[in-house]
C-alpha cells in the first residue's frame, strides 16, 4: 500500500484514497465503493449525492470510521483510520467526529440540554459554557433546554442533534440525510444552521442527501455512481444539481 505523506493532506479534514468496500463474499459480493478517491476540505460544506445504491452512505460511513474498508486509505486530518485499532477508532469517533442522523438519535429520557452535552459527558470532557451558550443560541433552543424529545417537534429534535454534534468542536460533522424526516420549513432551518456553522464557526460538514435543494446549501457537491466519484459541482445551485442527478439516473 502506498502511504500518503501527511504534508499532502494539509487543508483536508478527511480523505479517501483508492478505497474499495465490498459487502458479502465470493460470487455474491457487492462492491459498494470501487477504488474511490475523495478530498474533504476543512471549513467547507460538502454534499454527497448519487442514485440509489451508488455508495453515498457507505462512503460517509467509511470516512467517519463507522465502516472498515477492504483496500485503500481513509484519513481524518493527518490520522490514517485504516491503521487504527478498534479502540483507536472508537476514541477518534468520540473526540474528533460529530454525527447528525435522519432519525435524530436522541435519548428519550434526557432533556435537550442533557442530550446536547452527552458526547462530552461520555468523553469526560468539561463543556465550555460560553461555547455551549453560543451553540444553543445559534440553533434557537434556549427556551427548550429542559424539554425531553417527546415534547419537541421534529425540527427542534434535529436542532438538538445538530447542537450535540457541534458542541465538541469535531474535525468533521457527518450528516446522513439530516432533513429526510422534516417538513420544508424545518428542513430550511437545519440547512441554514449547517451553513452558518461552516461560515461562522469554520466547521467542516459532509452531508449525504438526495435533495437538490439541500445540496445547494453546500460549497461543493460530489456525485457518486456505481461506487465511483464521477462528477463535482462547486458553488452549486439546485437546478445544476438536479440536472446532474437526472443525467446520472439516466445512465449518461
CATH of the domain at 101: 3.40.50.300
Instruction: Assess if residue 4 is contained within a domain.
Output: no
pTM over 0.95: no
Instruction: Assess if residue 235 is contained within a domain.
Output: yes
Judged by DSSP in three states, 159 sits in helix
Distance between CA atoms of residues 94 and 46, nearest Å: 21
Higher pLDDT: 2 or 224? It is 224
Instruction: Assess if residue 25 is contained within a domain.
Output: no
Residue 230 φ/ψ region, left for φ over 0, alpha for ψ in the -120 to 50 degree band, beta for the rest: alpha
How many domains, in total, are found in the chain? 1
Mean pLDDT for the stretch of residues 203-221:
95
- Which residue range is the domain that position 119 belongs to? 43-57+85-249
Instruction: Assess if residue 76 is contained within a domain.
Output: no
A 10 A CB-CB count for 195 gives 15
In terms of C-beta density within 10 A (0-12 exposed, 13-18 middle, 19 or more buried), how is residue 84 classed?
middle
DSSP, res 26: G
pLDDT in tens, 138-175: 999 999 999 999 999 999 999 999 999 999 999 999 99
Give the H or E element holding residue 83.
Answer: none
Instruction: Assess if residue 102 is contained within a domain.
Output: yes
Amino acid at each position: 500500500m502506498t502511504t500518503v505523506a501527511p504534508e499532502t493532506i494539509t487543508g483536508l479534514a478527511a480523505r479517501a484514497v483508492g478505497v474499495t468496500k465490498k459487502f458479502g463474499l465470493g460470487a455474491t459480493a457487492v462492491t459498494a465503493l470501487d477504488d474511490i478517491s475523495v478530498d474533504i476540505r476543512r471549513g467547507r460544506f460538502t454534499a454527497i449525492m448519487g442514485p440509489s445504491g451508488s455508495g453515498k452512505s457507505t462512503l460517509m460511513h467509511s470516512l467517519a470510521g463507522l465502516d472498515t474498508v477492504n483496500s485503500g486509505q481513509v484519513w481524518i486530518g493527518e490520522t490514517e483510520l485504516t491503521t487504527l485499532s478498534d479502540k483507536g477508532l472508537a476514541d477518534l469517533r468520540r473526540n474528533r467526529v460529530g454525527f447528525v442522523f435522519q432519525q435524530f438519535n436522541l435519548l428519550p429520557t434526557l432533556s435537550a440540554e442533557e442530550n446536547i452535552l452527552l458526547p462530552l459527558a461520555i468523553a469526560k470532557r468539561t463543556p465550555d459554557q460560553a461555547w455551549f451558550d453560543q451553540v444553543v443560541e445559534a440553533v434557537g433552543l434556549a427556551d427548550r433546554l429542559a424539554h425531553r424529545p417527546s415534547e419537541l417537534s421534529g425540527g427542534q429534535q434535529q436542532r438538538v442533534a445538530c447542537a450535540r454534534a457541534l458542541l465538541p468542536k469535531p474535525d468533521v460533522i457527518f450528516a446522513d440525510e439530516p432533513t429526510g424526516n422534516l417538513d420544508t420549513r424545518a428542513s430550511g432551518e437545519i440547512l441554514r444552521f449547517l451553513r452558518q456553522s461552516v461560515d461562522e464557526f469554520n466547521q467542516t460538514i459532509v452531508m449525504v442527501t438526495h435533495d437538490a435543494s439541500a445540496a445547494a446549501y453546500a460549497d461543493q457537491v460530489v456525485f457518486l455512481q456505481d461506487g465511483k466519484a464521477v462528477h463535482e459541482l462547486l458553488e452549486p445551485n439546485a437546478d445544476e444539481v438536479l440536472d446532474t442527478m437526472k443525467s446520472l439516473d439516466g445512465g449518461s
